[in-house]
Structure 1
Amino acid sequence: MSKIDIACIIDDDPIFVFGAKRMMQLADFCKSFMLFKDGEEALNALTPLMMSGEKIPDVILLDINMPIMDGWQFLDEFTKIKTSRQVTIFIVSSSIDPADQHKVQEYEHVSNFIIKPISIPVLKEILEDMPKL
Structure 2
Amino acid sequence: MSQNIERVCIIDDDNIYISLVRKIIELKKLSDVVLVFNNGREALDFFLKSLGDEQKEEVPQVILLDLNMPIMDGWEFLNEFSKIRNKISKKIDLYVVSSSIDSRDIERAKAIDVVSDYLTKPIKLNDFERILV
Q: TM-score, normalising length from structure 2?
A: 0.90
User: Which amino acid letter does the alignment assign opposite residue 116 of structure 2?
Assistant: S
Q: What is the correspondence of 1:1-133 to structure 2 with a 5 Å cutoff?
A: 2-53=3-54, 54-55=56-57, 56-81=59-84, 82-128=87-133
Q: Work out whether residues 23 and 118 of structure 1, in 8 Å CA contact, stay in contact via their aligned partners in 2.
A: no
Instruction: State the 1:27 CA deviation.
Output: 2.1
User: Which amino acid letter does the alignment assign opposite residue 18 of structure 1?
Assistant: S
Instruction: State the 1:80 CA deviation.
Output: 1.2
Instruction: State the 1:95 CA deviation.
Output: 0.6
CA separation of 1:120 and 1:26: change in aligned 2, threshold 3 A:
farther
Provide the secondary structure at the position in 1 that maps to 2:3.
coil
Measure the CA separation in 2 of the matches of 1:112 and 1:87: 12
User: Which amino acid letter does the alignment assign opposite residue 105 of structure 2?
Assistant: D
Instruction: State the 1:51 CA deviation.
Output: 3.3
Provide the secondary structure at the position in 2 that maps to 1:79.
helix
Measure the CA separation in 1 of the matches of 2:25 and 2:125: 7
Provide the secondary structure at the position in 2 that maps to 1:35.
strand
RMSD: 1.4
Q: Percent of aligned positions with the same letter in both sequences?
A: 39
Measure the CA separation in 2 of the matches of 1:35 and 1:127: 16
Q: Work out whether residues 8 and 34 of structure 2, in 8 Å CA contact, stay in contact via their aligned partners in 1.
A: yes
Measure the CA separation in 2 of the matches of 1:122 and 1:69: 26
State which drifts further: 18-27 or 7-16: 18-27
Provide the secondary structure at the position in 1 that maps to 2:83.
coil
Q: Work out whether residues 24 and 120 of structure 1, in 8 Å CA contact, stay in contact via their aligned partners in 2.
A: no
Provide the secondary structure at the position in 1 that maps to 2:24.
helix
